[in-house]
Structure 1
Amino acid sequence: MSIEACPALVLNADYRPLSYYPLSLWSWQDAVKAVFLDRVNIVSEYDRVIRSPNFEMRLPSVISLKEYVQTERRPAFTRFNVFLRDRFHCQYCGEPFPTHELTFDHVVPRSRGGRTNWSNVVTACGTCNLLKGDRLPVECGMWPRVRPAQPNTHQLQEHGRSFPPNYLHGSWRDFLYWDSELDTG
Structure 2
Amino acid sequence: MGQVLVLNASYEPLNITTWRRAMVMMLKGKAEGLEHDPNHCVRADLLVPTVIRLRQFVRVPFRQLPLTRRNLFQRDNHCCQYCGSRSDQLSIDHVIPRSRGGSDTWENVTTACLRCNVRKGNRTPQEANMPLRRVPRRPLSSLSFEATRQIHSGRRSEWAKYVIGA
**Any gaps of 5 or more consecutive residues in structure 2?**
none
Answer whether contact 1:14 1:68 (CA < 8 A) is retained.
Answer: no
Residue 28 in 1 paired to residue 19 in 2? Answer: yes
Answer whether contact 1:92 1:142 (CA < 8 A) is retained.
Answer: no
**Any gaps of 5 or more consecutive residues in structure 1?**
19-23, 51-55, 181-185
Relative to total residues, which structure has the larger strand share, 1 or 2? Answer: 2
Identity, % of aligned pairs? 32
> 1:15, CA displacement in angstroms?
3.3
> 1:105, CA displacement in angstroms?
0.7
Corresponding letter in the other structure for 1:10: V
Which residue is equivalent to 2:48? 59
2:103 aligned counterpart, secondary structure = coil
From the superposition, tell whether residues 79 and 144 of structure 1 become closer, same or farther in structure 2 (CA, over 3 Å): farther
Which residue is equivalent to 1:105? 93
Which residue is equivalent to 2:9? 13
Task: Work out which of the two has the higher radius of gyration on C-alpha atoms and give 1 or 2.
Answer: 1
From the superposition, tell whether residues 176 and 150 of structure 1 become closer, same or farther in structure 2 (CA, over 3 Å): closer
- Give the TM-score taking structure 1 as reference length: 0.57
From the superposition, tell whether residues 88 and 6 of structure 1 become closer, same or farther in structure 2 (CA, over 3 Å): closer
Greater RCO structure (CA 8 Å; 6+ sep): 1
Cα distance in 1 for residues equivalent to 2:126 and 2:7 = 48
Q: What's the CA shift string for 1:19-49, capped at 9, x where partnerless?
A: xxxxx53212221233355432222444421
Q: How many residues align?
A: 158
